Structure 1
Amino acid sequence: MTPILEARHLSRHFGALRAVDDVSFSLAPGELLALIGPNGAGKSTCFNMLMGQLRPTAGTVILDGTDITGKKPRHIWRMGVGRTFQITATYASMTVAENVQVALLSHHRRTFAFLPYATRLYRDEARALLDTVGMADQADRHAAILAYGDLKRLEIAMALAHAPKLLLMDEPTAGMAPRERVALMQLVADIVAERGVSVLFTEHDMDVVFAHAHRIMVLNRGQLIANGAVEAIRADPKVQEVYLGGGTLFSAERAHA
């Protein structure tokens, strides 16, 4: 099976600092892959190279068999890559449904339609996407008054408007209460299962990672030090040492509580 995403010997240097240093990995279709590591490990730099915000110093990024190294973010987005950010990016003055409609207008290349009648376009599609993320009943509320967890769900609906084959999610549960984190990542896991979307996400909450990731990669000081199944990563002595200072990773019972 052809990987949906491959990073081959990916590096990014800032002067003498090697923020990402010879990182290689692949992501299978329908896989939920976690990228973890201490602050400053290189996770965001890696994401920015995958999405085109940064050009690699060395290495190659392959999307579904096509070399996308150095392409602009808008071109990569058009090729089927969506991204959500740690800080949500929604339009506070618009309703929930209108936010999704804007994303659909862009997907259908109808940005010229940002006129009063644009609110009549793609209503049914927007409602269907909101139903996917459990927000159909909030379609007519303004984004400005949404709870933070609902804003995260709205951002996922907007990302899905482009029908992506790959989602890059940068700390999707940041700033959320523990129960909200679990619910949001369960939603993402359901989308992966139902739509076959591949997801690469960064996350600091180990409960979330262990409960939902199919596989885990660990970065430290720009280098990939571990890549494997959840239980293998949990027991890896190097991961224990560099990521949690020699402490014991959470038990399976706690991760699934």
Structure 2
Amino acid sequence: MNAILEVRDLSKSFGGIKAVNGVSFDVAPGELKALIGPNGAGKSTCFNMLMGQLEPTSGTVRLQGEKITGLPPRKIWRRGVGRTFQITGTYQSMTVAENVQMALISHHRRLFSVLPYAHTLYRDEALALLDVVGMAEQADRACAILAYGDLKRLELAIALSHNPKLLLMDEPTAGMAPKERINLMQLTADIVRDRGISVLFTEHDMDVVFAHAHHIMVLNRGELIAEGTAAEVRENARVQEVYLGGGTLYAAETEDA
């Protein structure tokens, strides 16, 4: 089956620094794929290019065969790519349901014509999405008083508001307690299975990654150094040296220089 996302030779330089260097990979339909690596490996830079926040220095990104490289985020979103962020960005003064309703209003292109009665629109759709992420009972609570784990689940509901084909999740469990991390990623895995959405996510919690990712990619100093199943990545000697082993990156090469 054709890939949902095709990335070829993607690179980004900031002056003389290559933050991402010649990265190529695919994401298959219904795949839950992890992109891991140490701090500064280039994961967020890669995500920002996929979603249009950064323009690549070189390389191409295709969504279901259509080139989306260089398109602004709103057009990539319209084509079916959703995203969650490391730090949640909900409207704190609004209720849980209203946050999802605002995303639905944007999806239906009614953002500038309905503001006086926006709170009445698409409520049933919003409640259905909140039910998917286990937040329906908190629909009328203000976001300002939610626990952080609940904010993460709300952000997931918002990201699902336009029926994405691909969901990019940047550090989805950052700042969450261990049990909350497990629950959120199990929820994500269930959504992938039930809705056939493809998910590409970055994550520092290796227990989360190895428990849920169908395939794992390892990025280090902007380069993709390994890709495979959890077992293959665990057994990869280079991955063990530069990431999972916790030692200094490229220590042997540095000492020989």
State TM-score, norm by structure 2.
0.94
User: What's the offset of the Cα at 1:246?
Assistant: 6.1
User: What's the offset of the Cα at 1:109?
Assistant: 0.3
Pair 1:112-2:112 in alignment: yes
Distance in 1, matches of 2:230 and 2:53, equals 30
CA separation of 1:158 and 1:246: change in aligned 2, threshold 3 A: closer
User: What's the offset of the Cα at 1:56?
Assistant: 0.8
For the residue of structure 2 that corresponds to 1:112, the secondary structure is coil
For the residue of structure 2 that corresponds to 1:226, the secondary structure is strand
**Structure 1 segments of 4+ aligned residues over 3 angstroms from their partners:** none
Residue of structure 2 equivalent to 1:133: 133
User: What's the offset of the Cα at 1:245?
Assistant: 3.2
What is the identity, as a one-letter code, of the residue corresponding to 2:41? A
Q: Which runs of 5+ in 2 are unaligned?
A: 248-257
User: What's the offset of the Cα at 1:114?
Assistant: 4.3
Distance in 1, matches of 2:173 and 2:113, equals 33
Distance in 2, matches of 1:65 and 1:47, equals 19
User: What's the offset of the Cα at 1:16?
Assistant: 1.2
Q: Which runs of 5+ in 1 are unaligned?
A: 248-257
Residue of structure 1 equivalent to 2:96: 96
Higher alpha-carbon deviation: 108-117 or 16-25: 108-117
Pair 1:193-2:197 in alignment: no
Residue of structure 1 equivalent to 2:254: none
Residue of structure 2 equivalent to 1:225: 225
Deviation per residue, 1:67-115 (Å, 9 max, x gap): 0111111100000000000000100000000000000000000102442
Pair 1:215-2:215 in alignment: yes
For the residue of structure 2 that corresponds to 1:61, the secondary structure is strand
Q: Is the 8 A contact 1:129 1:157 kept in 2?
A: yes
Distance in 2, matches of 1:46 and 1:117, equals 39
Residue of structure 1 equivalent to 2:124: 124
Pair 1:78-2:78 in alignment: yes
For the residue of structure 1 that corresponds to 2:187, the secondary structure is helix
For the residue of structure 1 that corresponds to 2:61, the secondary structure is strand
Give identity over the alignment, percent: 75
For the residue of structure 2 that corresponds to 1:232, the secondary structure is helix
Residue of structure 2 equivalent to 1:149: 149
Pair 1:12-2:12 in alignment: yes
User: What's the offset of the Cα at 1:200?
Assistant: 0.3
Pair 1:58-2:58 in alignment: yes
Distance in 1, matches of 2:199 and 2:100, equals 20
Distance in 2, matches of 1:130 and 1:52, equals 27
For the residue of structure 2 that corresponds to 1:168, the secondary structure is strand
CA separation of 1:217 and 1:91: change in aligned 2, threshold 3 A: same
User: What's the offset of the Cα at 1:154?
Assistant: 0.3
Q: Is the 8 A contact 1:105 1:113 kept in 2?
A: no
Residue of structure 2 equivalent to 1:162: 162
For the residue of structure 1 that corresponds to 2:112, the secondary structure is helix
Distance in 1, matches of 2:209 and 2:86, equals 16
Distance in 1, matches of 2:107 and 2:24, equals 31
RMSD between superposed Cα atoms in Å:
0.9
Matched residue count: 247
Residue of structure 2 equivalent to 1:252: none
User: What's the offset of the Cα at 1:2?
Assistant: 1.0
Distance in 2, matches of 1:146 and 1:88, equals 12
